[in-house]
Amino acid sequence: MDRNYFGTDGIRGTANTAPMTPDIVLKLGMAAGQIFLRGDHRHRVIIAKDTRLSGYMVEPALTAGFIAVGMDVVLVGPLPTPAVAMLTHSMRADLGVMISASHNPYYDNGIKLFGPDGFKLSDETEHAIEALMQNNKITLAAPDKLGRAKRLDDAKGRYIEFVKNTFPKNLRLDGLKVVVDCAHGAAYQIAPAVLFELGAEVIPLGVAPDGFNINRDCGSMHPEYFCKAVVEHGADCGIALDGDADRIVICDEKGALIDGDQLMAMIAAYWHKKGLMKGRGIVATDMSNLGLERYMGTLGLQLHRARIGDRYVAEAMRANGYNIGGEQSGHIILSDHSTTGDGLIAALQAFAVMVEAKQPMSQVSKRFTPLPQILHNVRYANGAKPLEHKDVKDAIASAENTLGDNGRILVRKSGTEPLIRIMVEGEKEDQIKLLVADIAKAVEKISKQHAA
C-alpha cells in the first residue's frame, strides 16, 4: 500500500494543509487508537507537543479522536520527544504521541507515534493505521465507553530526574560554563534545568517561545548562533537542540562544531574503555562519514549502516544487540537509557568524557579526520519525481563512475520535506563539489520542466 500520510518520521506537513488538518488528525487519532486497543484494560495515550502555534489545533483534534474510540488521554504539554517515549513506557501507556515537526519552521507540524515499549512504530503498524484511515472501518466507542482526558502536571519533573540519572553518579558539572540553545522549542525549560541541577553554570539561549520562533535562526539548524555565544562568554562548550530536542550538536570552547559522527565516536570509545558497549559495534546510516567507520576499526569495533531515520537506526540496534547508534545530524540513541534519539542524554555522555578526562572539549572530541563530504538539498516542485528521470539517473551514474572506490554517493528524497538530498564523499574536495553541482543541476532541470 502506498504511504499517503506517514514519512520517514511520522506524519508531517504545513499546518492546516493536508495531512496536518483537523479532520485528518482526528481520523488519525481514531485509527491509531483502535489499532492499540489491545486487551480489556483501561487504555491510555500520552500526548505531548513542542511550542508551535498549530499545536493548539492538533492537540485537541487528536484528543477527540482517541476519546472517540475509548482511549483515555494524558496531556503533558511541551516536552521533548524522548520524554514521550520514556513516559509511554514508564506509565504503561498503550501509545505515545509527540506533536512536532522537529527541525522544520513553525508553519509545519507533525505527529510521531510510539508504541507501549517506547519505540517508534514499525512500517507495518503505520500501514495498518493508514488502511483504517482510508477504508473508514473505525469502530466508535459506545457513549458509556468514551475515553477521558486529564493533564499530568509533574511530567516535566519526571523527565528531568530521568535524564539526570543517566549521568555517572560519581561525576558533577561543577565549574563548567555551558551555553544551551533550546531553539525556542520543547526543551526550553528542561535543558537549562538539567545542567544547572548537575552543577553547571548555564547560559540559556532560545528559551522564549512565542509560537512562531521555533528553530528560527537558532538551535541545531543554525549552530553559528550558539557557537559565537560560546566564544563570547568564554564557555567551556555549548549544546544546541532542535525543536523537539531529539537531535543535538555540540561545539567546543573554541566555537568549533562537533557533529553526530564525532559524538558517536567519542561516546563509543568511552563506553568501550569502561566495558559498557554491547555488540562490539555501533549503528550509523549511509550519511555517516567513512572516517567514523575507519575509526571504529581501530578500536576493534564494527560500524553497521542502517536506513536513514532514527527509528531504522533503533531497529538495527535491537537486531544486532548494539547500545550505541545515531545519525551524523545529531540523532544519538543510547539504548541503555532511551528508546529514541535524546539530545540531552547524548550531551551528558559527552560531558562525562570531558569531566573525567579533565581536558577541554576540543581535545576529547576530535576522534578522527573526516573525509571531505558535501551535503546539498535541492527543492523540487510538488508532483515532480526527479529521481525517476533518466537525466538524473545518468548524472548519478556518471558521478559514481568518476569516484570509483574512492568515495560514496547518496541521493535520496527527503521523508519530511519536498527536497532531494545529495551527499557526495571522497578524497578530493574540489572533485566532489563538481559532482554535487552536476547532480543538483539535473534535479533542478527536471523540477523546472515539471513546474512549467
**Which residues have CB under 8 Å from 135's CB, separation 6+?**
none
- Kindly tell me the burial class for residue 273, based on how many C-beta atoms sit within 10 Å of its own C-beta (0-12, 13-18, 19 or more): exposed
Provide the 8-state DSSP code for 168: -
Beta carbons of 80 and 342 less than 8 angstroms apart: yes
For residue 129, report the phi and psi dihedrals to the nearest 5 degrees: -65, -45
β-pairing verdict for 419-426 and 373-379: antiparallel
Cell numbers standing for residue 83: 520524554
Single out the catalytic residue among 54, 90, 100, 102. 102
User: Cβ(427)–Cβ(371) under 8 Å?
Assistant: yes
In the sheet that holds 419-426, the strands lie side by side as 373-379, 419-426, 407-413
C-alpha distances out from residue 229 to 202, 219, 234, 235, Å: 12, 12, 8, 8
Cis geometry, peptide bond prior to residue 22 (ω within 30 degrees of 0): no
Verify whether residue 102 is a known catalytic residue. Answer: yes
C-beta neighbour count of 359 within 10 angstroms = 12
CA 438 vs CA 14, 299, 406, 410: distances in Å: 30, 37, 18, 14
Strand residues in 164-292 grouped as ranges (E) = 177-181, 201-205, 237-241, 248-251, 257-258, 281-285
Torsion of CA 148, 151, 152, 154, to 10 degrees: -170
Beta sheet of 149-151, edge-to-edge order: 6-7, 10-14, 108-114, 95-99, 44-49, 72-78, 149-151
Q: Angle CA(416)–CA(419)–CA(421) in degrees, nearest 5?
A: 100
Phi, psi values for residue 248, rounded to 5°: -145, 150
208, exposed or middle or buried, with CB in 10 Å at 0-12, 13-18, 19+? exposed
Q: Which of 300, 306, 429, 422 is nearest to 371 (CA)?
A: 429
Q: Which residue has the cell 535562526?
A: 217
In DSSP terms, 113 is beta-bridged to 97
Active-site residues, by number, are: 102
